[in-house]
């Protein structure tokens, strides 16, 4: 019998995400273009899969292309002010008709339970209602937008009640006033305010592009996979001054992502609507496939804790097997854990290093400097080295040395010089392994 070991490895790799996401609220926003796309059924399958894993889902759909088509049928002209539609009585009627049809189609697909589909026997209920209270936008640049509105209040109590019952909440781009009026709202306004009001773990926008791509003069498009709020603000400012060019939908969604993160949403993701399974790839892999915005940096350098022992062992064992690192068993690592610093990326330990002081000779040893294979060549090793040097200086050391068999040039490029064993602290010389024949490199700090 042939065993599929790659499947086992993959399943193990996604297990931590399944545990982390269970019971969390995700707000997913997609435009009307997504619904008519031939990949929409795949998105529906993925949404139902997330729901079956215990994710609390709030979906917000747009309907702009459908409204535009309806306006053309009725020979009505679309008028925009700063990206918002001017909604008069006739336009509002087209909006209601288009949104109604869209919602019915989406609910039908979410209810699909064919045995041949990923949603077989899913029995996921879709909830809707007057969750959004709206108010008119009013007059902008001297033009009355009439029935174009913005979110005034989100009924989080009613929405959470539905989510608690295992239902999926579907919001349309309409809001209602206490006086019974209907307002045409933007997708991004509803998505952002809803995610903030619910304290959502994630806000996800499906975009026309792969994510945030900075296209400056004489520079090719580069996907920015991770941004902090401050980095996002810089991009918005540069775009406003025409120093860089951002895609139209990114110009629309990036300020919303920044606002959401500033007001309590843990992560905002911008991912392509054109890639089948893009949402799963973004959520269940560490690198993702689109762009992610967070309040602060996802990279943390800190002192190691006893809880980190398992992760450190898992990372250094392959290097020990190759003879690049000296073997450390769990007991030894637990005893020496206070000597270690770790580099953590979004909850995953991707690097470590240890510092052993020799105070009598004002020297320290750098040991076990390791970065996970998937995160090499990104400056993480330099960050660990810098942290170790700073720690050694603070302890009064004047020299930093390292014993290595396979990274001599890397250390020389960073200011270390090769030296002899007799230059090591005397207590270290006693334990030097002549069979291993490690190179000795030293640096003044």
* Distance (Å, whole) CA 312 – CA 340: 10
In this structure, the answer to whether residues 407 and 394 fall within a common structural domain is yes
Residues 277 and 303 in one domain: no
d(CA 236, CA 261): 15
- Of the three residues 241, 270, 294, the one that is the final residue of a domain is 294
Q: Clarify whether residues 366 and 273 are in a common domain.
A: no
What would the pLDDT profile of 195-232 be if each residue is shown by its tens digit? 999 999 999 999 999 999 877 544 445 789 889 999 99
The structure tokens listed for 272 are 């392509």
**pLDDT above 70 as % of the chain:** 95
DSSP secondary structure, 324-337, as one string = SS----HHHHHHTG
CATH number at residue 113: 3.40.1160.10
- Whether residue 288 is found in the same domain as residue 383: no
Residues 345 and 229 in one domain: no
Please give the pLDDT value at position 353: 94
Nearest CA among 147, 172, 150, 168 for reference residue 63: 172
CATH number of the domain where residue 358 is located = 3.40.630.30
| Partners of 80 in beta bridges | 85
Do 263 and 320 lie in one domain? The reply is no
Tell me: do 369 and 225 sit in the same domain. no
Encode the chain (445 residues) as per-residue pLDDT tens digits. 566 667 887 887 788 888 889 999 999 999 999 988 878 888 988 998 899 899 999 999 999 999 999 999 999 998 888 888 999 999 999 999 999 999 998 988 887 754 455 556 666 788 998 999 999 999 998 899 999 999 999 999 999 999 999 999 999 999 999 988 999 999 999 999 999 999 999 999 999 999 998 775 444 457 898 899 999 999 999 999 988 889 999 999 999 999 999 999 999 999 999 999 999 999 998 778 999 999 877 778 899 999 999 889 888 888 887 777 777 888 888 999 999 999 998 778 999 999 999 998 999 999 999 998 878 877 889 999 999 999 999 999 999 999 998 889 999 999 999 999 999 998 899 888 887 888 999 999 8
Q: How many helices (H) and strands (E) does the chain have?
A: 15, 26
In degrees rounded to 5, what are phi and psi of residue 416?
-80, 150
Q: Looking at 239, 269, 294, which one is the last position of a domain?
A: 294
Comparing CA positions, the residue from 379, 377, 381, 376 lying closest to residue 353 is: 381
Percent over 90 (pLDDT), the chain: 62
Residue 147 domain boundaries: 5-294
Hey, which residues does 402 pair with through a beta bridge? 366, 441
CA 52 to chain centre: 21
Yes or no: say if 153 and 196 are a contact pair by the CB < 8 Å rule.
Answer: no
Structure tokens belonging to residue 81: 């002010």
Q: Provide the sign of the torsion angle of the four alpha carbons 312, 318, 319, 320, taken in this order.
A: positive
Quote the crossing angle between the two packed helices 248-262 and 229-240, to the nearest 10°: 140
The CA radius of gyration of the chain, in Å to the nearest whole number, is 28
User: Are 351 and 427 in the same domain?
Assistant: yes
- Contact between 151 and 189 (Cβ < 8 Å): yes
- Asked if 314 and 255 sit in the same domain, the reply is no
65 and 185 housed in the same domain = yes
Tell me how far apart the 2 most distant CA atoms of the chain are, in Å: 91
pTM for this prediction = 0.78
Q: Are residues 240 and 287 in the same domain?
A: yes
Closest CA to 259 of 291, 239, 229: 229
| Backbone φ, ψ for residue 270 (5° rounding) | -115, 115
Query: Which of 243, 272, 294 is where one domain is finished?
Result: 294
Could you tell me if 55 and 140 lie in one domain? yes
pLDDT reported for residue 218 = 44
Chain centroid to Cα 316, Å, comes to: 26
| Domains held by the chain: number | 2
């Amino acid at each position: 019998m042939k065993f599929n070991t790659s499947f086992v490895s993959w399943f193990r790799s996604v297990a931590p995400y399944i545990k982390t996401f269970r019971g969390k609220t995700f707000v997913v926003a997609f435009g009307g273009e997504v619904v008519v796309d031939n990949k929409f059924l795949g998105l529906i399958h993925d949404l139902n899969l997330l729901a079956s894993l215990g994710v609390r889902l709030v979906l917000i759909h747009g309907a702009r292309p459908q409204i535009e088509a309806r306006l053309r049928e009725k020979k009505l002209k679309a008028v925009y002010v700063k990206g918002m539609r001017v909604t008069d009585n006739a336009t509002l009627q087209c909006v209601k008709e288009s949104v109604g049809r869209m919602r019915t189609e989406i609910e039908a697909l979410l209810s699909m339970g064919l045995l041949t589909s990923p949603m077989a026997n899913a029995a996921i209920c879709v909830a809707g209602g007057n969750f959004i209270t709206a108010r008119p936008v009013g007059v902008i640049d001297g033009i009355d937008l009439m029935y174009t509105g913005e979110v005034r209040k989100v009924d989080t109590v009613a929405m959470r009640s539905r989510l608690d019952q295992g239902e999926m909440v579907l919001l349309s781009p309409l809001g209602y006033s206490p006086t019974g009026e209907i307002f045409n709202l933007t997708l991004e306004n509803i998505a952002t305010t809803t995610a903030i009001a619910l304290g959502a773990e994630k806000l996800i926008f499906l975009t026309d592009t792969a994510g945030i791509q900075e296209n400056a003069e004489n520079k090719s498009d580069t996907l920015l996979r991770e941004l902090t709020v401050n980095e996002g603000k810089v991009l918005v400012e540069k775009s406003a001054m025409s120093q860089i060019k951002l895609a139209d939908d990114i110009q629309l969604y990036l300020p919303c992502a920044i606002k959401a993160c500033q007001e309590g949403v843990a992560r905002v993701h911008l991912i392509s609507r054109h890639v089948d399974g893009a949402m799963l790839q973004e959520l269940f892999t560490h690198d993702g496939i689109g762009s992610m915005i967070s309040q602060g940096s996802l990279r943390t350098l800190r002192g190691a804790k006893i809880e980190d022992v398992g992760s450190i062992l898992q990372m250094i064992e392959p290097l020990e097997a190759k003879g690049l690192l000296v073997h450390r068993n769990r007991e030894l690592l637990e005893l020496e854990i206070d000597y270690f610093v770790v580099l953590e990326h979004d909850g995953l330990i991707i690097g470590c290093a240890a510092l052993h002081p020799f105070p009598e000779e004002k020297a320290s040893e750098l040991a076990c400097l390791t970065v996970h294979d998937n995160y090499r060549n990104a400056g993480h090793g330099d960050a660990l080295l810098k942290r170790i040097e700073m720690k050694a200086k603070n302890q009064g050391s004047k020299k930093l040395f390292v014993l290595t068999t396979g990274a001599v040039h890397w250390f020389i490029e960073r200011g270390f010089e090769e030296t002899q064993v007799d230059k090591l602290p005397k207590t270290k010389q006693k334990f030097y392994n002549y069979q291993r024949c490690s190179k000795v490199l030293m640096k003044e700090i």
